[in-house]
Amino acid sequence: MLKGKTALVTGSTSGIGLGIAKALAAQGANLVMNGFGDVEVPKAEIAAYGVKVVHHGADMSKPAEIEAMMKFAAEQFGRVDILVNNAGIQHVALVEDFPPEKWDAIIAINLTSAFHTTRLALPAMKAANWGRVLNIASAHGLVASAQKSAYVASKHGLVGFTKSLALETATTGITSNAICPGWVLTPLVQKQIDDRAKRENITVDQANKDLLGEKQPSLQFTTPEQLGDLAVFLCSPSGNNVRGVAWQIDGGWTAQ
């Protein structure tokens, strides 16, 4: 379905970004990967779908590096058709204890990077009159939790950005939507589970159950594969008139 299209997924060396990149590759899209850590294993997993895959290691907190990545993508494939703004980080602390440099990093990576990638991808999408911008927000783009002020602010901001862009592109073939996962068992969440187990002197298994029980009524993690399937739907012709939504896939978290 996406043969001949190019997808750029920020933060696709791990977790949700990798799940979405694989789902798009399975539909035939070529991939520009981004993110830190091991690149070769995830790159091979994506390439196994028979598509062309390249990686750019831009740091999403640095606008000049984002510009270099978008230029690199255009040189490799002509343009980005599907932009998935996924890279994100977390830090947990009370507002008065929140390190200002962590606040700045979370806003830069989780929110501002999406503005830069999008502004640079849009002209070519407009010229082709087709494009998809998928912003990976969170249940925390819709509701809050204590001790996550920067993350909640960044994700609410990302949902707002998604809606503004959807209005600006409403009469075109470009759509802009946010995906709002609840808990997904990735390295980002595993760290919170491990910290909780240590803090409360309980087993990791118990910390796992407590984490889900607190927020996610289904008591099940959302999976990167389920998020990949939702991304594919939003890229399909059936998604042509889905515009400006913040689509929960959160086991009932935000229904409470």
Q: Is 14 in the site for ligand NAD (CB under 6 A)?
A: yes
CA dihedral 111, 113, 119, 121 (to 10 degrees): -120
Which among 15, 28, 10, 12 is positioned nearest to 235, based on CA atoms? 28
Closer residue to ligand NAD in complex, CB, 218/240: 218
**Residues 2, 5, 8, 15: which binds ligand NAD (CB under 6 A)?**
15
Q: Is 66 in the site for ligand NAD (CB under 6 A)?
A: no
- The span from the CA of 168 to the CA of 229, in Å, is 26
- The span from the CA of 80 to the CA of 190, in Å, is 32
Q: Is 13 in the site for ligand NAD (CB under 6 A)?
A: yes
Q: Is 35 in the site for ligand NAD (CB under 6 A)?
A: yes
Extended strands (E) in 140-210: 174-181
Helices (H), 169-203: 187-200
Q: Which of residues 111-140 bind ligand NAD (CB under 6 A)?
A: 136, 138
Closer residue to ligand NAD in complex, CB, 34/118: 34
Q: Is 186 in the site for ligand NAD (CB under 6 A)?
A: yes
Identify the active-site residue in 77, 103, 151, 161. 151
Q: Is 59 in the site for ligand NAD (CB under 6 A)?
A: yes
Q: Is 82 in the site for ligand NAD (CB under 6 A)?
A: no
Q: Is 60 in the site for ligand NAD (CB under 6 A)?
A: yes
Order the strands of the 53-56 sheet from edge to edge: 53-56, 30-34, 6-9, 82-85, 131-136, 174-181, 246-249
Q: Which of residues 188-207 bind ligand NAD (CB under 6 A)?
A: 188-189
Q: Is 157 in the site for ligand NAD (CB under 6 A)?
A: no
User: CA distances (Å), 30 to each of 26, 44, 79, in order?
Assistant: 10, 13, 11
Closer residue to ligand NAD in complex, CB, 128/249: 249
**Total number of residues shown for the chain:** 256
Q: Which of residues 83-102 bind ligand NAD (CB under 6 A)?
A: 86-89
Q: Which of these segments, 70-78, 96-104, 114-122, 177-185, binds ligand NAD (CB under 6 A)?
A: 177-185
- Say whether 49 is catalytic: no
> At closest approach, how far in Å is the CB of 91 from ligand NAD?
11
> Computed from CA positions of residues 126, 132, 136, 139, in that sequence, does the dihedral angle turn out positive or negative?
positive
Q: What is the maximum alpha-carbon separation in the chain?
A: 57
Q: What is the DSSP code (8-state) at residue 236?
A: S
Residues that bind ligand NAD (CB under 6 A): 10-17, 34-37, 59-61, 86-89, 109-110, 136, 138, 181, 183-184, 186-189
Active-site residue set: 151
